[in-house]
Amino acid sequence: MNVLPLGLHIPEPQPCFGRADVSGSHLSDAGRVPRPAVDVEAREIRHLAYDLIRVLDGDGRAVGPWSGACTADQLRSGLRAMLKTRAYDARMTMMQRQRKTSFYMQCTGEEAIACGSLTALQAGDMNFPTYRQQGLLIAQDWPVVDMMCQVLSNEKDRMKGRQLPVFYSAREAGFFSISGNLATQYVQAVGWAMASAMRGEGRVAAAWIGEGATAENDFHAALVFASVYRPPVILNVVNNQWAISTAQSVAGGEGATFAARALGYGIPALRVDGNDYLAVHAAACWAVERARRNFGPTLIEWVTYRAAPHSTSDDPSKYRAQEDQAAWPLGDPIERLKDHLIGRGAWSEPRHVQLKAELDEEIAVAAKEAQSYGTLMEGTKCSPASMFDDVYKQMPTHLREQRQELGF
Amino acid sequence: MPSLTMIEAVRDAMDVMMARDDRVVAFGQDVGRFGGVFRCTDGLQGKYGASRCFDTPISESGIVGIAVGMGAYGLRPVAEIQFADYMYPAYDQIVSEAARLRFRSAGEFSAPIVVRMPCGGGIFGAQTHSQSPEALFTHVAGLKTVIPSNPYDAKGLLIAAIEDDDPVVFLEPKRIYNGPFDGHHDRPIVPWSKHELSETPQGHYTVPIGEAVVRREGSEVSVLAYGTMVHVAEAARRSVGIDAEIIDLRSLVPLDIDTIVRSVTKTGRCLIVHEATRTSGFGAELSALVQERCFYHLETPVVRVTGWDTPYPHAQEWDYFPGPNRVGRALMRLMEA
């Protein structure tokens, strides 16, 4: 018997649109992927898990069945949200470099996904975000000073200096408390949506995860529970190609798309150009409508690229080539929406430059205000006595004693 | 007052709370239609409907994860892990999420959940049906850990746990589900109906979390125990004829340190008994606390009788389980010292 020697396959570190596209998933042309009815069965749209829903073509025109009917005002508002998110990220990164805080994480290149998805949700719905969906807050004009105070861990930090920067919590904004433990929120979102269904209250949950964290057990748990109980949840997978230094191929992206994960659970899946604001908006609206009308969960893989370092503690040049990013074929979400609006006659270069300057100024003013309440290294912080609060609803005796031991 | 078993008391607690508060929901593996492998949820699905009491996939992380999400929504989930030995896949959700949600969100979100899990040995359950993992919960800030020793407490503590706004790990010693077990495995099983603490009021009442109870007053030595070991300690005391004061802790976190200190200050001796393995077990925390607070009243070193530092064996069950002989010998040693 002629047997080949065994050998372990270790995936090459390449993104799915890198030098070689080994996932078998190709760039679909804009407008080519059909838009099914929201009550479609998962098995009827299996191919959507391997295609790519895109609306904006190479010339910035909106084409095809997902092009929808966004008004120019809605799109300008989306553009503003994305620009503001990017300006916020830039300013906070600078403040980390100035040692005003310990840590920061940008979402550069991924702004369309959070900002565009948010437009599909209503007050009362709940996002279960990761640390890279700050656009969910900024797109609803949540006060950036409040976000900054959290990053700076100052006296106005509503998290009272307990959490790592960017781990926001904003219940009023439908933004669930961020945890450092990856994937845990994915199954919690399913539980939250189950509760909504049990109460018959029509609120939907949006779960968020990166492609790297889909390898965690809770990703599987979430899909099983979503499959069994069919609660109103949108299962978002942001495939930005990189989990710190690890390419999506090592997360299991080589043999199948992340959208295709849903098929085995009987959950309808979409695979969407995450840098196409119009496609994001349309796909999110489709999934939310499905959920709201009790047709159950949808998984959406957003294909995008993590343009920035993983965090301020990361140096991507150590593990990925500049050419990889340059070769990224889906471009920049802000530039693409800008070009579309200009093509529609609803925007212009000078207005864009002016808006960007206004937002930079707005963020700078906010940053100044936030710093006036203190920074991690200087100024006032929440009292150490507050460290013992909220461990339990009422402080038990042993914590009271420990607080006294600390001198409070 | 009706006489209930631990199983009936646990079920009655959920029944009372599901009737009082439509936010209370119960779920876990085999919990719904079948009524639980230990019958603790028997009849609840029929009475309250499948959306209040239902079966889940075999996924402990999923079970606790959805409970956290439901709690954040505003429900009062009572999740069951079929055996405490199988809580490990859920440990991330319990420790990283349920326990810390209130703290990390500065009170914006919380996890008012109960995670029930049958625990403890004495049933030939071997490695994965006998464990007592309470120390893995008591070490976690933000969790409350409760373990009843009789039907009256089981019902009152579970109702208190469901009403509590903090996450509660509710450990149910399965060896005493059907009757009090004093460690004399060679004697006939005694049913709960012969025990005064099976007298369980109908309807709503609570046993406060954080309050120990002195089961038997004594003057010579204080015995700190919980769960099955309360009964073992009582049998051991009787057999050696020592006037021991037996304290049923009931709640490990928060701990009723005042009751412990009062007792050890009076007796000058302290014996700690638990089924769980010794090293870094909850007994170590109890011993340290007694040492810190009662040092000048102690006439002898604090003694621990616990499970050995081995995985729980099958054939060697009665050499592993800290039965009345071992506890009795420890009591005598303490009195000789």
The Cα A337–Cα A236 span in angstroms is 21
Locus of tokens 């995936």:
A11
What pLDDT was estimated at residue A23?
Answer: 43
Set of chain A residues whose Cβ sits within 8 Å of the Cβ of B65: 184, 186-188, 190-191, 218, 221-222, 225
pLDDT band for position A3 (cuts 50, 70, 90): confident
Higher-confidence residue: A381 or A106?
A106
What pLDDT was estimated at residue A392?
Answer: 98
Spans in chain B with pLDDT lower than 50: none
pLDDT in tens, A219-277: 999 999 999 999 999 999 999 999 999 999 999 998 899 999 999 999 999 999 999 99
What pLDDT was estimated at residue A25?
Answer: 46
The Cα B319–Cα A248 span in angstroms is 52
What pLDDT was estimated at residue A272?
Answer: 97
pLDDT band for position A4 (cuts 50, 70, 90): confident
pLDDT in tens, A354-375: 999 999 999 999 999 999 999 9
The whole-model pTM stands at: 0.97
Q: Is a pLDDT exceeding 70 seen at residue A34?
A: yes
Catalytic residues of B: 129
pLDDT band for position A122 (cuts 50, 70, 90): very high
Q: Is a pLDDT exceeding 70 seen at residue A292?
A: yes
Is residue A228 within 8 angstroms of chain B, CB to CB? Answer: yes
Question: What tokens were used for B237?
Answer: 């005391």
pLDDT in tens, A170-228: 999 999 999 999 999 999 999 999 999 999 999 999 999 999 999 999 999 999 999 99
> Which among B96, B97, B254 is the nearest to A396, CB-wise?
B254
Which 3 state secondary structure label does DSSP give B89?
helix
Interface of A with B in 159-178 (CB under 8 A): 159-160, 162-163, 167, 169-171, 176-177
What pLDDT was estimated at residue B183?
Answer: 97
What pLDDT was estimated at residue B296?
Answer: 98
Q: Is a pLDDT exceeding 90 seen at residue A16?
A: no
pLDDT band for position A316 (cuts 50, 70, 90): very high
pLDDT in tens, A152-175: 999 999 999 999 999 999 999 999
Contact yes or no for B104 and A228 at CB 8 A: no
Q: Please say whether the beta carbons of A64 and A56 come within 8 A.
A: no
pLDDT band for position A26 (cuts 50, 70, 90): low
Instruction: Say what percent of chain A tops pLDDT 90.
Output: 90
Phi then psi for residue B307, to 5 deg, are -65, 155
Question: What tokens were used for B203?
Answer: 């309807």
Q: Give the mutation candidate from A159, A392, A403 for the B interface (greatest B CB count, under 10 A).
A: A392
pLDDT in tens, B224-262: 999 999 999 999 999 999 999 999 999 999 999 999 999
pLDDT band for position A17 (cuts 50, 70, 90): low
Q: Please say whether the beta carbons of B86 and B173 come within 8 A.
A: no
Q: Is a pLDDT exceeding 80 seen at residue A20?
A: no
Which 3 state secondary structure label does DSSP give B108?
coil
Interface of A with B in 99-158 (CB under 8 A): 126, 128, 158
DSSP A99-115: TSSS-----TT-HHHHH
Locus of tokens 């002629």:
A2
Q: Is a pLDDT exceeding 90 seen at residue A321?
A: no
What pLDDT was estimated at residue A24?
Answer: 41
* Mean pLDDT value across chain A: 94
A387: closest chain B residue by CA:
B103
Count how many residues are written for chain A.
408
Contact yes or no for B68 and A188 at CB 8 A: yes
Region of poorest pLDDT, from A7-16, A39-48, A193-202, B94-103: A7-16
Locus of tokens 């009023």:
A172
Q: Please say whether the beta carbons of B51 and A173 come within 8 A.
A: no
The Cα A51–Cα A167 span in angstroms is 33
Q: Which of A285, A297, A300 is nearest to A121 (CA)?
A: A285
Interface of B with A in 159-218 (CB under 8 A): 165-166, 210
Contact yes or no for B103 and A189 at CB 8 A: no
What pLDDT was estimated at residue B236?
Answer: 98
Mean pLDDT of A103-127: 98
Is residue B73 within 8 angstroms of chain A, CB to CB? Answer: yes
Is residue B51 within 8 angstroms of chain A, CB to CB? Answer: yes
Q: Please say whether the beta carbons of A113 and A304 come within 8 A.
A: yes
> Which among B106, B165, B257 is the nearest to A162, CB-wise?
B106
Alpha carbon of B331: minimum distance to chain A alpha carbons (Å): 29
Contact yes or no for B62 and A390 at CB 8 A: no
Contact yes or no for A163 and B166 at CB 8 A: no
Q: Which of A124, A115, A126, A138 is nearest to A177 (CA)?
A: A126
